[in-house]
Structures are given as structure tokens and as C-alpha cells.
Structure 1
Amino acid sequence: MGVSAASVLNRLLYSRTHKFQTQPGSARALTKAIRSHLVAGRLREAVSVLFAAPVPVSYPLYARLFRICSTNLAIVEVRKVESHLVTFSPTPPVFLLNRAIEAYSKCGCLVDARELFEEMPHRDGGSWNAMITAYARGGCPEKALSLFSEMNRSGVFASEVTFASVLGSCGAVLALSLLRQIHGLIMKYGFSGNVILESSLVDVYGKCQFINDARRMFDEIKNPTAVSWNVIVRRYLDMGDGKEAVFMFFHMFRSAVRPLNFTFSNAIIACSSISALEAGMQIHGVAIKMGFENNEVVSSSLMDMYVKCGKLENARGVFEQPGSKDLISWTSIVSAYAMSGKTGEARVLFDRMPERNVISWNAMLAGYTRSLQWEEALNFVFLMRNTTKHIDHVTLGLILNVCAALSDVEVGKQAHGFVYRNGFLSNLVVGNALLDMYGKCGNLRSARVWFYQICQWRDSVSWNALLTSYARHGLSEQAMAIFSEMQWETKPSKFTFGTLLAACANTFALEHGKQIHGFMIRHGYEMDIVIRGALVDMYSKCRCLLYALTVFKETGSRDVILWNSVIFGCCHNQRGREILELFGLMEEEGIKPDHVTFQGILLACIYEGLVELGTRYFNSMSNEYCVMPRLEHYECMIELYCRYGHMDELENFVKSMAFEPTVPMLTRIFHACRKYGYLRLGEWAAERLSELNPSIPLKFQIMDKER
């Protein structure tokens, strides 16, 4: 039935000039038949009986039919009921037409609702409210606000229900100025004591990011309900003020108001945001006492909070509580273990899951990729393809990341084919992942072809991915050409410049590096600490240490990464004395050195022949600075002793190492012992090398000289 609201009302004039004779008996029989169908749940049959009848029914029955139609979203039946009503009732009451508007809106037919509203001979406040509510609930907040303004100009007073709908629309479009006007009207009309409207005002002020106004409004509520408290806690959370959200949650208990499950959840999420483990555990205790622990919303938030606070076993304890474990909680705990690096435990839980969805599969796969377990990730991809057909853009992005890490371009091409066949071509996340995969696999031709195929929707990430691919393979000329093209389409980002500077550093392209530096200065880009570090690295590797030091000195706030950049810059230029001076300045600024810093210091000692000083710095790493020496530090010390012939110190150092020397270490020791005629350690090194690599027998050749 395709009857529209406008055409139905046009027939209203006709119905006024034609009177139908209603027989009481037939009307009662009709009503009885319709009601029997409704009682049996046969709405379509009930409306068909009505629509075929040449007599009207009572107004309450029409109202009941509209209500049941809206509940069942039966738009065809709504139109039939309205058609019958206006055909056989010369002047249908306004309240029934209001019910028709409500039914149309709940069925999602806002055009029909508005046509009926416009054609109504008479309207009351309920008519305006029905239409405004229809727009508000139908996702048309601008139209709801516009109609409210028209209503206000017409002199029709709004009800509490109207104001509630209008406030929701203000929150949807963040209309702060209109919100203040509506706030004034609420007070003018005497609704200031309505806790529902007051809570809505708190909510909308918070959504508009005027949290102080929201708090003042909340404090004016005489008896805040559980909904009121939930709103203020949520708004503080959304504003990033987790501390105040937690404070308000605990403050609620002084008012003897029982929290909602969402209030518990919001407070727990707030604890996660500020790493407030102790407060989170207190809220957990309250949840247990009040019977919320097994609530799915609360338990999911508790697991997330414990994971983010580093208490994975506590999260597991929440998960293992008796009660129903749904798909969300299973996925949450698998994701928690997977993203914490415990992929083995995550996989055991994943295999136990009674059901899985694409999010569950993605969580496990993301855990493997996060832990750089690429082979396991690839095997999991094959398992996924053989087990489920549910793959989304997140899955494809993860699969392409695996292919990129393993340089497996063949599997990457298969994923590309899947993208073509299943309609993911226009998904930019997938498109950029494909671009990155081809680049990391060294297939620059395919990367370039794909880059031009996505020309209609590519973004700055796409340009950076292509540029990085060329830069990573040492093709700085091509990378600079791409940079020039890029400027016609999108604005370069900080990441772009970092990539280009790294390419220039690795290919010693000083002139290109200077051009990039000049471009950033001319176009007013912020020279943050990351970019300054990249500039220091580029100038240092290009043997332009003066420029590197100038950039370093112009940096206001310097962190350990920038200090390490300039220290290694001096290393590239073999300026050991400057490194030691810089280390002194670094300590004066209160910057704590890390393992990279000490590697630079030990290299400086090698360049300058400072064996004793190098030994002191090595020993101070763990004793004074709590930095555990790594393989590279042991290699530096072996090189220091070997290069300058300190063979006794070398032997003592090697014998005291916490691990067996590597092949490169033994080879360096062996050659140093041959050079300086150190028999005992040389033979030991030769024996160890022969054990590790029997195919290359070594013999110490200066034994007679030693004796």
C-alpha cells in the first residue's frame, strides 16, 4: 500500500462532504474482529479487516492500532490505519493525528510525518512535540532545532518532553548559544526543578566541553538521580579529567544513590586513564558488595583497567568469576594477554573460546604482530582463512603488515587479490597497508602502480608510505622527486621530513638535507625535538658536524634521544674528546644516560685510546647508572683492549663475562693475540672458534716466538 500522508489528508475535505451511515451492530462486529486479531498477534490481518471496512471504529482503537504498528515498525499498516481514519472521520481528533506522526517517525518515515504535520487543520503542543521528537530521534538534530524555533515564534509553549528532545539535539550539534537560550526558557516556563531536564542540561554543557557550566548545573540539582550522577561522571571522563570523574563517583555514595552499571564502568575507565590502580580496586570492591561484579559492562571495564595498570592476573581473576562469559569478555581477555606479549597464554584462551567473531581473530593476530612473531602470525593467517570467512579491513591491514615484515610479496599479492574480489579497494587503511607492503618487500614498481590507482582517495599517509619506500632503499633522488609531487596534493607532515632526513643521512646527500631544512624554515614548520634529532643525525652523517652542533645548541629542551644523536654524530666524525665533554654537559643538565649513550662514550674512548677511562665508564654503567651492559658494550670493551694491546685486561674481561663470547668477539681476540704474541688467550680463542665453526680450523702461529 503506497498511501502517503499528504494524499490521505487531501481526502479529508472529501470526507467532510460525504456522511457514512454506521450501523451499531456492524461497528461492534468490526471492533470485535479487529481486537481478536490483535490479541492473537495478527496485526496485518487486523489492519486488513479495518481497511476493508466501510465504517469507522472507536478513536481508542485507532490509537491502539497506531501504537502497535509503531512498536512493530509496520509502515504499510500505519498508512492503512491513517487512511481509514481520515476517510471515515470528518474531523479526526488532533491527538490521533499526533499518534500517526509518532508512528511514522518510529518507522523511520520522517517525510510522511512532516507531510502529515504540515497538512493538519489544527495543531496543539503535542503535534509540535511529536514532530520535534521525530527529528531528534531520527538523526536530524538541525531540523528539530529549526522546528523548535518555529514553534517558539508561533507562541506555542513547549512541554518537558519537547525540551528533552531539543536538548538532545543541541548536544548532537554542539549548539552552545542555542543551549543557553533553551536553558533560559526552561527556567522561564517553570521547569527548573525537573531533574530530567536538569540532567540533560548537565549532559549537553559537558558535550559542548563547558564542563564548569555542567558542574554548576549539576550542583543546582536538589536531588540528583542515578542518571544525573552517571552523566557528570561520564562528562568528566570524556573531558579527560579522570581524577574528577573518580572523585564524583565516590562522592555519589554520600547521597545514598545506587550507581548504574554504566556509572561503575565509567569510573573504572577513568581509573584506567590515570593509572589509578588503588582507586580501581576500591571500585571493584564496591561493585562486589553491590552485586555488579558479574555485570558484563562492569566486568569488561574491570578487565581493561587491570590490564592497563599492568595487573594481568587480576584481569584473569575477573574473567574466571562464575557466571556467563559472553563473546565480549572472551575477546577482551584474549586481547589483554595477546597485547601484553603473552601470546602463548592468549592462544590457549583463544582455542578455548566457544564462539569467535572477526574481532576475536583480529585480537589474536594483532598480538602476534605486536610481539614481532611473524612466522606464528603467518601460520595464524592461514588458519583463519581455512576456518572463517569473516575478514574485515583490520584483518587485511594486519595480514599485509605480516607480509611486509617477512618480505613475503607472494602472500601479499594474494591479499591484494582478495581486496579486489571483496570490495575493499576504496578502504584507505587497506590501500595504505598494500602500499607499505610492496615498499617493504622491495617491489617499488608495484608500489608506484598501486599508488596511482588510488589517486582518487589517497592521503598524506599514502604519500609518506611511497616516499618511505624509496628512501628505505637508498633512492634519495626519487624520494625528493616524490616530495616535490606531494606538495601539489597535500601538505607534508613531520613524518615526511623525518623520513627524508633519514634518507639523506643514509645516502650522505647533504645538499638534499639542506634543502629540506630550508623548506621547513621557509614554511614555518615547528622544529620539535624529533625533527631536530633527525637534522643532527643527517648533518653528522654527512660530515657536517658544525651544522649538527648548531642545531643541537638551538634546541631549548633536550632529551636523552637528542643527546644520543649528537654524541653519535661526533662518533661518526671520530671526535672522541667532544663526546666526553658533551657527556659532562648532559649530566649537568640532569639527563640520565641510557645504553645508547654509553655505547657512544665507549666508542669515544676507542677513538682516543682511553683504556682506563673506558673501563671506568663500563663499570659505572651498572654500579652508578643502573644501566645493564648489552652485547654492543662488551664488543666495545673487547675492541678497546684489543686495539691498544691491553691483553691482561682483555683476558680478565673475557673470562669474567656473564655469557660466552660470540664468533666476532673470538675472531677479534684471536687476531689481537696473534698481533701482540699473547699465547694463552690466543690458543683459547682458537679452540673456541674451532668448536663453533669446525669447517675452518685455526692454529695459533706464533707459539715459538712466544717461547
Structure 2
Amino acid sequence: MGTSAHSILHQLLNTANVRRRNPPLPTNPKALTTVILNHVRYGGLAKAASIIYSSTSTLPFSLYALLFQICVSNKAVVEIRKLESHLIMCNPNPPIFLLNRAIESYGKCGSLEDAKELFDQMPKRDGGTWNSMITAYSKNGKAEEALDLFLRMSSEGVFASEVTFASVLASCGTALELWLSRQVHGLVVKYGFCGNVILESSLVDVYGKCGKISEARRMFNEIDNPNDVSWNVIVRRYLEMGDGKEAVKMFFKMIRKNMRPFSFTVSNVLRACSSFHGLKEGNQIHGFSIKINVEEDEGVSNTLISMYAKCGDLACARRVFDLSRSRNLISWTAMVSGHAMSGQTREARELFDQMPDRNVISWNAMLAGYMGSLEWEKALDFVILMRKQTKDIDHVTLGLILNICAAIPDAELGKQVHGYIYRHGFHTNLFVANALLDMYGKCGNLRSARVWFCEMSHLRDNVSWNALLTSYARHGMSEQAMMIFWKMLGETMPSVYTFATILAACANIFALEIGKQVHAFIIRNGYVMDAVVRGALVDMYSKCRCTEYALKVFDVATSKDVILWNSMILGCSHNGRGDKVLKLFASMEVQGAKPDHITFQGILLACISECRVELGWQYFKSMTDKHCLIPRLEHYESMIELYGQYGCIDELEHFINEMPFEPTAPMLIKVFDYSRKYRCLKLGEWAADQLNKLNPPIPFQFEIMDSK
């Protein structure tokens, strides 16, 4: 009985297995193709690929092409492998175009190893094969491999197509291969592809990425009919090169040509407006974004908020923020940053506290706001809060905290931050390392600065050298600063900021010969001298009593700001060239430069040296009457010296009586001395009485020398 039951059960199970077994696949290629397509149609791509892989029948080439395309859409690498395997197995000489399609499919799915294996195994290749492999490398960020393959292709005499050139140019831009880009440009011209707007736009793009914006613009101007892509590329490259004004100009030209910008181009050009505080242009672009219905794009609305905030129009920024349908972390952070950078830290903190989510950028924006407003205690309290509420601390945060330590200054707190930097692996970050070096220097801990500078020897750049050099110069150690400068030349090229510091050090110790050598170095190496460097040169030559050299440096300056004028005027004043000072001031007024308090201090000193009492009084009056400047203490002291030194005692007494404040002790001492010199008893007694009132424990005895 048991045996019979067991036999029946075994029979039933076998019957069930037979029923579940799939029906045999058709051997007819047409019928098999229909089965495969039905599986694909109902989402069974994997099943269709498995059927093909297990089949020994040949299939239409069009089916392979279709299935490769579907596999790419689904990122189905395994299914591509099955298709490739069946194609090669069932076709002794598979068509090259299908193998090219397989390489292309692998590339689009990011499987470069499969693509390269198939490429290497192909007995025959055509231009499409090379192009598929180059494109695969290019699209997957393997720029160097793409360029190496292109060079190999060229050496084998394979003709490059327009698609190949487009991929190669994209790789040149990624790898910043300017030399190769120019070679490819030559081949594009040689093969007659100059009229291809895609290639021409690619050339604009690659020259811009390589920092040759003038060549990019020249290439753009050569395009007969630039399309939307061409215009968007040139706008973006100008922005990335830091020329925001030209980016905006090109954007407006684009609009006049009825070209439609992409939404990200609108965002880019709004960033360009932020870079030069172009609020007017930003308003116009805002209006245009409404017209073309991209204002509500998340990227555009966020950039609008940021642009208005950076340009100081927080009311407009708030309006866009309030109207935005999808406020996100970026828009909240932009509002916080805008208020913080405008000095409205209370409003910024209120917004910060309302934020539904925060990231490290939000925390950094609020911290930077406190720093910008010099609210050091609040900044430190905020750092403590940040440590309690988040672990998101990055290199920017640490740089800000180190800047706070430098500003307070608090070297002990800086050392604690240094320990945190080591424990969390930030010591290899150059930005943090330079901030740490700067902190030690500003806190006056030059020993720690020097030790840290040596420890970061594998990292340091010209910013590191500048920080160390400036630290020594700031603390009056000019000789050591010069030694650092000469050592710097053996490791890196200095920046223009270095020269201002080292020239100031030369001026402090009257090192004329070294100053001349630095000047010669600047000229030999083709540095563009800005107003700061020219001012430092003028100051150095003036303090070293080499006024003629200072005037030569000053005269060749194409644009002169008030700082440069002041450097030259003070230099001449201190070197007894009062006549030249008066001529310089006349030229300054003709050229439309607006004088400041320092300018008039130099002029009054010149009037003292040139015995121009009346002229000095006229310049003093013109400060208020003509230039809307309120005279400062040093100007009143100069007028007292001008009147007193040349014996104009009546004018001196009148001037003292008309001053809008009580004379200071140094002023009274000068009046006392001049009264004794010119035997003016009444004024001298008054000055002595005033001095005694200011300093009662030490009575002043006024004595007139006996006139015998």
C-alpha cells in the first residue's frame, strides 16, 4: 500500500513538471524573432536576451541593432554581453557596424573594459570602430585614454569623422590639452569640416576651457551661423574666465539675435552680474527670464535670489524668495548669506534659525557674516553652537575659525584648532594649511609659523610664502623678510602681492639697492604692475630719498588712483620737493582724481617747506568749501606749525581761537614754543595756563628771554 502511494505521488510530480516545462523554442528565425520581440514588448528584456543566448539560430542584423539600443536605454550591460556573444558565435564574419554598435552600447553603459576587450579582439576595424571607442572613453571621463587612442588612430592612417573630432575636442577640453587642440583644429580645417557648427562650437569651448578666451572669441566670430549651443558656450566661458561684464554683453547680443538661452545659461549670466554688482543688468535678465518662462526654474530662481542679495538689493531677493514655489536649501542659504554679507547679521540669524534644513554651506555663510561685521564674540558662540548641532565641518569652516583666531588674536585657541585639524586629517588641505600659517603670523607666534611652514613643505605654494613673508614684515623684521623672499625664488614664482610686501620692507630699512633689484625682477618677468605695486615702488624710492626714480614710476602709470597720488605727494613732501607737490596736486585736479585727507596733509607739509603761508590757508579752507572734507587733528597741527614757523603770530592766535575744539597738549606746546621764539608774552602765558589746566601736577613756567 505504501509502495503504491509512493509510485502515484512520483507520477503526479513528474506530470506537474512536464506541465510547467516551457514549450520548445521555434527554430525558424522569423518565428524566433517574433517570440523575442514579444518578450521585449512586455518588459522581458532579460528573458529575450537569455533566449537569444541559448539559441543557435541566426537572427536578422536589424534585431541586434534594435536590441542594443533598448539595452542602452535600460543600462543592461549583462544583456549586451549576451547579444555580443550570440552575434559572434552565430556569424563567422559579423558585420563591423554591429560590433561598433556593441562598443558604443558598452560605452554608454559605462562598461569600458567590455568595450576595450571587444575593440582589441576585432580583426578588422573601420573609422566607426575607432570613433565608438574614442567616444566611449570621452563620455566616461577618460580624456587621456581617448586622446591616446586618437593619436594611435591617426598614426595608422584612419580617416577621422566629424563625430570623432567632436569627441576628441571634448577630451582636449577635459584634459586642458591646448597644444593638441590646436593640432586637431588644423585637421578640422584640412579635412574641410570648417562649416560644421558643432565642431566650431567645440573649438570655442575647448579654447575657453584652456584659458585662451581671445582665441575662443576669434573662433566664435568665424562661425557663419552660430546656433544656441555656440552662444551658450561663449557666455559660459567668459564667466569662467572671470570676465562677467563680457559674459553679460554676449548674452544680450544673443538675445538680439533671437537665440533662446538654456535655463542654465540664464543662471550663469546672473552669476556674472553678481561678479561685478550689475544690478541693472540683473534686473533686465530677470524680466527676460519671466518673458521666456524660466523664472520658476529652480536653478534660475536660486541664482536670482543670490544675485539680488550679492548686489545689495535684499528687498528684491526676498520677493523672489517669497514667490518661489519650491524653496530649497540653496535658496534659504542664499538669503542668509545675502543678509550676513550686507552686515544685517540679526536678520540673517533669524532666517538661519527658521531654516528647515541646513548644511555646512549654510553654517559657513552665517559664520562669515559675523566675521565680516567684526562680531567676534558672536562668531565664537556660533562656532560652539555649530560643534554641538552638526558634525559638518569642512575646510572652509576651519579657515573661518582660524581667521577669527588671527583677528582676536588668540594663539592658544588657534593651537586647539590646529590639534583638531590634525585629528581629522585636514592638515593636508592647502587652504587650511595656509590659513593656519597666517593665523600664527598674525598672532605674533613666528616660531610656530616657521615650524608649520617647514612641516607643509610638500604642500606649500606662493600663498604660503607670502603669508610667512608678510608675518615677518608686519612685525618689523624686514631683513628676515628679505631672506625669505630670496629663498622663495628658488621654489616658486612670487605673485604681485609679494612685491608690495617686500618693497615695504625695503622702504622700512632704506634698502635702496635691494628695492631696485626687486623692481628689475618685476620688469624682467613681465609682471603687470597694479596700483598697489606702483604705490609700493613710489613709497620705497621716496623713503630711500630717490625721488626722481619715484617720479618715473609714477609718470608711466596709465591709471592713477588717490593712493598712488598720495604716495607721490607725500614722497615729495618728505624729501623737500614742496614745489613738485603743488604741481602734482594741480595735475591731480585736472585729471579728475578726488583728493582725501592724506592728500591735504601732504600739501600742507609742502606749504610748510616752501614758506607758502597764505597758500596753505587757502588749501586748508578748500578742504571744507570745495572738497567737502572735515579737517582732522593733523591738519590743524600742520596749520599751527605753518603759522608759527614763519612768525605769523596774529594769524596763529586767530586760528587757535577759531578752532572747533580745544587745543591738545602737543598743539599748546608748539604755541608756547613759537610764542617764546617770537617773544609774544600774552599768547605764551595763555598757552602755559591751558597746559597747566590739562596737566595740573606739572606747572608750566613761561619765561621770556631777556632781550639784551
1:24 aligns with 2:29: no
Match of 2:520 in 1: 521
Match of 2:396 in 1: 394
1:219 aligns with 2:224: yes
Deviations, residues 408-431 of structure 1 (Å, cap 9, x unaligned) = 112211221122122222222221
Paired residue secondary structure (2:426): coil
Match of 2:184 in 1: 178
Match of 1:462 in 2: 464
Within-5 A mapping of 1:596-607: 596-603=598-605
Match of 2:655 in 1: 649
Match of 2:301 in 1: 299
CA distance in 2, matches of 1:134, 1:118: 14
CA distance in 2, matches of 1:196, 1:533: 49
Match of 1:138 in 2: 140
CA distance in 1, matches of 2:114, 2:346: 57
CA distance in 2, matches of 1:321, 1:97: 53
| 8 A Cα contact 2:336 2:348, kept in partner | yes
| 8 A Cα contact 2:405 2:411, kept in partner | yes
| 8 A Cα contact 2:53 2:85, kept in partner | no
Question: Bigger shift: 624-633 or 374-383?
Answer: 624-633
| 8 A Cα contact 1:533 1:565, kept in partner | yes
Match of 2:488 in 1: 486
**Aligned AA (2:468):** L
Instruction: Give 5+ residue unaligned stretches, structure 2.
Output: 1-22, 674-681, 703-708
Normalising by structure 2, what TM-score? 0.75
Match of 2:384 in 1: 382
Distance 1:422 1:58, change over 3 A: farther
Distance 1:186 1:289, change over 3 A: same
Distance 1:360 1:41, change over 3 A: farther
Match of 1:348 in 2: 350
Deviations, residues 443-486 of structure 1 (Å, cap 9, x unaligned) = 11111111111112222222222222222222233323333433
Match of 1:339 in 2: 341
| 8 A Cα contact 2:305 2:335, kept in partner | yes
* Paired residues, number: 653
Deviations, residues 385-440 of structure 1 (Å, cap 9, x unaligned) = 22222222222222212211112112211221122122222222221211111111
Paired residue secondary structure (1:404): helix
| 8 A Cα contact 1:642 1:668, kept in partner | no
**Aligned AA (1:104):** Y
Within-5 A mapping of 1:481-560: 481-506=483-508, 509-510=509-510, 512-518=511-517, 520-521=519-520, 524=524, 528=529, 530-538=532-540, 540-541=542-543, 544-545=544-545, 547-557=546-556, 559=560, 560=562
1:474 aligns with 2:473: no
Within-5 A mapping of 1:280-299: 280-299=282-301
1:98 aligns with 2:104: no
How far the C-alpha of 1:119 sits from its partner, in A, is 0.9
Distance 1:548 1:316, change over 3 A: farther
CA distance in 2, matches of 1:307, 1:272: 9
Paired residue secondary structure (1:219): coil
CA distance in 2, matches of 1:623, 1:366: 41
Distance 1:264 1:435, change over 3 A: closer
| 8 A Cα contact 2:305 2:317, kept in partner | yes
CA distance in 2, matches of 1:420, 1:698: 58
CA distance in 1, matches of 2:296, 2:692: 66
| 8 A Cα contact 2:58 2:91, kept in partner | no
Paired residue secondary structure (2:323): coil
Deviations, residues 534-593 of structure 1 (Å, cap 9, x unaligned) = 34434555xx43x14442345323533233224334565687677556545654666442
| 8 A Cα contact 2:134 2:164, kept in partner | yes
Deviations, residues 355-393 of structure 1 (Å, cap 9, x unaligned) = 222222223333333444433333333332222222222
Paired residue secondary structure (1:330): helix
Match of 1:16 in 2: none
How far the C-alpha of 1:595 sits from its partner, in A, is 1.9
**Aligned AA (2:182):** L
Paired residue secondary structure (2:659): helix
CA distance in 2, matches of 1:254, 1:499: 48
Question: Bigger shift: 453-462 or 435-444?
Answer: 453-462
**Aligned AA (1:433):** A
| 8 A Cα contact 2:672 2:687, kept in partner | no
How far the C-alpha of 1:518 sits from its partner, in A, is 3.4
CA distance in 2, matches of 1:628, 1:670: 22
**Aligned AA (1:441):** C
**Aligned AA (1:556):** D
| 8 A Cα contact 1:170 1:176, kept in partner | no
How far the C-alpha of 1:116 sits from its partner, in A, is 0.8
Distance 1:608 1:244, change over 3 A: closer
How far the C-alpha of 1:147 sits from its partner, in A, is 4.5
CA distance in 1, matches of 2:204, 2:501: 46
Distance 1:499 1:155, change over 3 A: closer
| 8 A Cα contact 2:538 2:553, kept in partner | no
CA distance in 1, matches of 2:190, 2:337: 48
Match of 2:596 in 1: 594
Within-5 A mapping of 1:163-202: 164-169=166-171, 171-172=173-174, 173-174=177-178, 175-183=181-189, 185=191, 187=193, 196=198, 199-200=201-202
| 8 A Cα contact 1:670 1:686, kept in partner | no
| 8 A Cα contact 2:462 2:494, kept in partner | yes
Normalising by structure 1, what TM-score? 0.76
CA distance in 2, matches of 1:26, 1:417: 74
CA distance in 2, matches of 1:284, 1:624: 41
Within-5 A mapping of 1:57-76: 70=72
Deviations, residues 510-550 of structure 1 (Å, cap 9, x unaligned) = 3x443342354378366945445334434555xx43x1444
What is the Cα-based RMSD across aligned positions, in Å? 4.8
Deviations, residues 651-681 of structure 1 (Å, cap 9, x unaligned) = 43225xxxxx7xxx65557778999669999
**Aligned AA (2:402):** L
Question: Bigger shift: 671-680 or 490-499?
Answer: 671-680
CA distance in 2, matches of 1:150, 1:575: 71
Deviations, residues 224-271 of structure 1 (Å, cap 9, x unaligned) = 4x4354345445656777677556645555665544223433454555
Match of 2:19 in 1: none
CA distance in 1, matches of 2:542, 2:291: 63
Paired residue secondary structure (2:114): helix
Residue among 549, 565, 568 paired with 2:567: 565
CA distance in 2, matches of 1:121, 1:522: 60
Match of 1:441 in 2: 443
| 8 A Cα contact 1:129 1:161, kept in partner | yes
| 8 A Cα contact 1:467 1:483, kept in partner | yes
Distance 1:494 1:197, change over 3 A: closer
